[in-house]
Amino acid sequence: MSNATKTLSAVNMAFANSIVQQLDVLSVRRKEWEATDYKKANDGLYALLADCLDVYNARFVNGSLDDQKALRRSLIERLQADGVKVVKTSITLTMLARFVFNSDRKRAQGYGYVLAAAVSHGIEATGFAAWVLQQGGIEEIKRLMVKKPEALAKQQAVKAATAAVKGDLELNTLQPLAHVGIQGLKGTYAVLLVKPSASGGADIVGSLSDVNDALVNALILRMAKAQVEAAESDKELSKQVKQESSDLLAANDEQVAKVVNA
């Protein structure tokens, strides 16, 4: 091993040790937070996670490849020495969270998801707490991070459809789809249970007056989901028809080629 290699290795390990020392300080703060503010507020948690994010962005990301390798090796060795089971494929953010919070795998992975989301959105440590609150909190960010892109796309589609349904309801208040003379209904909204008729139209078979907001919102959400499902079904049908047409054209071209060559 050359002197240059030894010097580089020493520098790398010094880099890693300096970050581990920072994490040790954060770990002590975590213990203090759990002993005092843990059950009172999330401010301490957000501050600790923000500092983890700062260490990652300011130190790890800007370090050389050898520096990053040295830090990962140091984290794995320290965690294993503390009896924490880690694998070489664990992401650095999760190991940082596990080191600082001395937590179980599931909790550390959750914090790792949140930090990864912050990194992907370009969030700096100074704006981390405000961003978490804007996103709906730690649990909401974790929930979104573990969803597949298709599920997230559908969630956004349902959200847009919900706004559209509410707009339609406001319009239909001015221009009702129909009017029926039923006595005794009251409240902002009432629900009519109708049974589709084989001859067309529908028969009203029941009613619920003075419907609460929870039921109204649930019905609006279901209407929105029905719109999204119908749109997805139509999209899939169009895709199948297009594919079938392409297959038929390809088969026809092949048949024409055979005739011409013959």
pLDDT means per 10 residues, the chain with 262 residues, are 54 82 82 66 83 87 84 87 80 85 76 86 89 87 68 69 83 84 86 86 87 85 84 68 60 55 56
Instruction: Supply φ then ψ for residue 189, to 5 degrees.
Output: -135, 150
pLDDT tens, residue by residue, 129-149: 999 988 888 888 887 776 555
Residue type, 111: Y
116 in Cβ contact with 52 (< 8 Å): no
53 in Cβ contact with 107 (< 8 Å): no
Residue 43 is predicted with a pLDDT of 78
Nearest-angstrom CA–CA distance, 19 and 13: 10
- What single-letter DSSP state applies at residue 127? G
Place of tokens 């001015």: 174
Tokens of 239: 């895709």
pLDDT tens, residue by residue, 157-208: 777 888 888 888 888 888 888 888 888 888 888 888 888 888 888 888 888 8
